[in-house]
Amino acid sequence: MKKLFAFVIVLIILAGGGWFVLHERGSIPSKTATQKMGSNGAQAASFDKKQHSLDDPASLWLIVNKRRPLQPKTYAPNDLVVPNIPLRLAASQEEMHVRKDTAGALEAMAAAAKADGAQLMLASGYRSYNFQVGLYNGYVKTQGQAAADSQSARPGYSEHQTGMAADLEPASRSCEVETCFANTTEGKWLAANAYKYGFIIRYPQNMQNVTGYIYEPWHVRYVGAALAAELHNEGSPTLEQFFSLAAAPDYGS
C-alpha cells in the first residue's frame, strides 16, 4: 500500500512538472494571450484598409476633396436611381438621384428614423459636373470665392458628383441645409445612427482644416457598413485622418 501511495505521489509531481514545462514553452496559452482572443477563441483581425480603392471614382471608399479631384473630373455614375424616401424636388430632377447601393441604404435608414419619430428627406443627392459649374459659380457671384470655397466644391471636386453623398433635412424643411439641423430631431438621430446604415457625417465640426469645408451636419456620405462601423468605433475621424492622407484645407497651388 505504501509503495502504491508513493507511486501516485511521483506521478503527480511529474505531471505538475510537465505542465510547468509546457506552460513555460508556450504550449498552453497565457492569460494575456487568451484576453487578446475573441469569444470564439480566434485572434481578432485588424481592419483591412486596402479592401477598396481610394482613387477609383466608382469605388465605395473613394476619397474626393480639394486635393483629390475626381478622375476624370467629368465622371458620372452609371447606376443612378431615385431612392424611395421623401424628396425635396420632383423625382425627375437630377439632385433626387443617388447610386443604387446608396439608395438602398438611404431607404433603410429613413425607415428606421421614421420608426423613431424622425422624418428624413433628401434635399440633394447626385450633382453632375455641369450642375456643379452653375452651383459653384452662383456662390462665387453672390458671396465671393473664399466663402464659396468653404461650403461648395468646385466642379470635379464634389462628393455629390460621386452619387454617394446626400444632403438630408427634416421633412418639415426646418433648418434646411443649415447648421441648426444638428439640433433638430432628425439631425440628432442622424448623428447617432447614420453609421449603422453605412453613412458618415463627412464634414464634422471643427475639421475644416482637414476636410476643407465648414461643419455640415446634414451632409452624409455612404461608405458601407464595415467602414462606417470602424470609423464610429475609432471616434469618427475624418476619412483623411483614418487613411493617413494629407489634409485638404484648400485647393493648393
Q: Which fold has domain 49-242?
A: Muramoyl-pentapeptide Carboxypeptidase; domain 2 (3.30.1380)
pTM: 0.82
The Cα 126–Cα 91 span in angstroms is: 12
**Least confident interval from 35-39, 116-120, 183-187:** 35-39
**DSSP class of residue 220?**
E
**What pLDDT shows up at residue 253?**
61
Cβ pair 159, 66 in contact under 8 A:
no
Residue spans per domain, the chain = 1-35, 49-242
Alpha helices in the chain (DSSP H): 2-25, 31-35, 100-115, 129-143, 145-151, 185-193, 208-211, 225-233, 239-242
Q: 42 falls in which pLDDT band (50, 70, 90)? A: very low
In the predicted structure, residue 221 carries a pLDDT above the cut 60: yes
In the predicted structure, residue 44 carries a pLDDT above the cut 60: no
Buried b (16+ CB within 10 A) or exposed e, 110-123: beebeeeebbbbbb
Averaged pLDDT for residues 219-239: 98
The Cα 66–Cα 52 span in angstroms is: 21
| Per-chain mean pLDDT for the chain | 87
Total residues belonging to the chain: 253
Could you report the per-residue pLDDT of 46-57, keeping only the tens digit for each?
999 999 999 999
Cα-to-chain-centroid distance, residue 55: 16
